[in-house]
Amino acid sequence: MPKLNKVALFTNEYPPYVYGGAGVHVEYLSRALAKRIMVEVRCFGDQMISGNPAVHGYPRWEQAKQNTDPRFAGAVDAFHRSLAMAKDQLDAQVVHCHTWYTDMGGVLASKLWNVPYVLTIHSLEPLRPWKVEQLGNAYHLSAWMERTAIEQADAVIAVSRETREDVLRLFNIDSERVHIIHNGIDPNEYRPVESRDALVRYGIDPEKPYVLFVGRITRQKGIIHLVNAIPAIDPALQVVLCAGAPDTPEIGREMEQGVATAAADRPGVIWIREMISRPDVIQLYSQAAVFCCPSVYEPFGIINLEAMACETAVVASAVGGIPEVVVPEETGMLVDPHLRPGTFDPLDPAEFSNALAGAINRVARDPELRRRLGVQGRKRVLEHFSWDSIAERTVDLYRSLVETPA
């Protein structure tokens, strides 16, 4: 019976190439796991780092975009890099994949090296139909890769109860193979800071309160609903949108038009388009009056943990795993977008935007409420979402696969 001493993590994102919550998750999980076992990270990129964790980057396959629909390149490249990750010599006892980009790598590695593989579900392709805008028919390839990997996996980690229910509803997999292990946060890094120099550099008036959004410009993140809420947000509040990397030209143009319209009617709308450093974003969290997460689909919402760890009150959508993180009237406010059945479109988008504005205004106008929500938010982070406890549960799952006789 083999003993667990090493895991290989397969991932699209890994520092310095991190653009979303899945990349943050792998970065911190790999560090916490490395305190307990040996870790090798195989990722998309050009990284090459020895030590624990050891990191091996796999560069883009440039031929993926030749002589084909350009929208296919991302999924075809992901398949190619997953194969490269899987075929390389492997001495780990478990492979652990993150996002559909590398899920197929787990399937192939399990066949080639006779090891179990685990998938962490950060999002699900059947619940992101807007990806057709970005990938064209390659969306069906990404969905097939994900489905194949999930249904054959030795274990699936869902980052919330809601995500587990989605997996069991959408895929043919036994319930005992689907486990809940939440995302985490490093509260020593994400903590309230007094510094405000980053605010000045990005054109934010440090003497005036602001509502903050941090995230990519995607349908999933619901940023357009927040932009449409701006006319109803108290004009005493600045609106800071730390948002870049639009999924498609269409949503990029929609964002441009929405922000331009909102900024024409009121001052204090600040759009930060570039990816900013972690110390700077911690400043933005710490000094914000309110953080807003208007997502229409969010399996967990690690971004809310980041804000809560910085003692900032949160206004968020009551979707996916967010209610497992944000406790209404205790660490923030939840707004129900009332999605159309089977879709991620609010029944009444204007009503959702107005409800977001109302919750933001209520929190921003009440300093004592803001303070209480912020303090309780950090307390909840410290008690429930440390990476060390998450790594312990993850290692226990690995051992159950490796050290139990077949």
Whole-angstrom Cα distance, residue 360 to residue 354? 10
Cis peptide before 53 (omega within 30 of 0): yes
CA separation, residue 15 to residues 11, 102, 283, 371, 382 (Å): 11, 16, 20, 33, 25
If phi over 0 gives left and psi between -120 and 50 gives alpha, with beta otherwise, what is residue 227? alpha
Chain segment 89-119, per-residue pLDDT in tens: 999 999 999 999 999 999 999 999 999 999 9
Q: Report the pLDDT value the prediction gives residue 45, as an integer from 0 to 100.
A: 97
Q: Note the pLDDT tens digit of each residue in 34-84.
A: 999 999 999 999 999 999 999 999 999 999 989 998 889 999 999 999 999
pLDDT reported for residue 114: 96
* CA angle 47–140–348, rounded 5-degree value: 100
| Residues found in the chain | 406
What domains appear along the chain, each with residue ranges and CATH number? Answer: 6-184+386-402 (3.40.50.2000), 197-384 (3.40.50.2000)
pLDDT number for residue 403: 83
Whether the pLDDT of residue 267 is over 80: the answer is yes
Mean pLDDT of 171-196: 95
- Which pLDDT does position 389 carry in this prediction? 87
- Cβ contact 401:348 at 8 Å: no
What pLDDT digit, counting tens, does each position of 111-161 carry?
999 999 999 999 888 887 777 777 888 889 999 999 999 999 999 999 989
Of the pLDDT bands very low, low, confident and very high (cuts 50, 70, 90), residue 264 is very high
Residues 233-256: tens digit of each pLDDT: 999 999 999 998 888 888 999 999
Measured CA distances, 306 to 28, 210, 239, 267, 326 (Å): 13, 17, 19, 27, 12
Q: What pLDDT score was predicted for residue 245?
A: 82
Q: How far apart are CA 295 and CA 316, in angstroms?
A: 7
Query: What confidence tier does 289 reach under pLDDT thresholds 50, 70, 90?
Result: very high
Q: Give residue 125's pLDDT.
A: 87
